[in-house]
Amino acid sequence: MPATDRSDTRDGTHGLMVKREFIAQHYLTVPDPEPPEGDVHSHRFTVEVEFAADSLAEYGYLVNINQVESLLDDIEARYRDTLLNDLSEFDGRNPSVEHFARIVCERFCEDLDDDNPDEVTVRIWEDDLAWASYRAAI
């Protein structure tokens, strides 16, 4: 297990965020959605993945940023230029940005091979004004 940097004794939480943009499509499956939400339409999604920890790991790092970027590459490859409604993780679910944030967050919790972060927050912007997030302990 890597050494922990305890040289800073002040209370606080470290944070690190990496983001990625891609275009994907969806349509909402709620009753009587307002146009264009009920029709297939595109969003330029911005996925922000933020990690938090009370202390830093060896060499003063919060998380292995190379692994985070690799996982984001996988996320982008999975969702870029796809219709979210057609993907198995959205079976039986309205493909809302709220569900999307939870799905991506759970993927990071499962796939991240780094035990230093205490929690991860995934925030997904569907445009310049609206976002949803999901936070989980790692």
pLDDT in tens, 2-43: 555 555 556 899 999 999 999 999 999 999 999 899 999 999
Residue 11 is predicted with a pLDDT of 83
Q: Report the pLDDT value the prediction gives residue 44, as an integer from 0 to 100.
A: 98
Chain segment 47-76, per-residue pLDDT in tens: 999 999 999 998 999 999 999 999 999 999
CA distances from 61 to 15, 99, 101, 108, 136 (A): 10, 30, 25, 18, 20
CATH ID of 15-30+41-137, from 3.30.479.10, 3.30.450.20, 3.40.50.740, 1.20.1630.10: 3.30.479.10
∠60-4-123 over CA atoms, to 5°? 60
Separation between Cα atoms, residue 20 and residue 76, nearest integer Å: 8
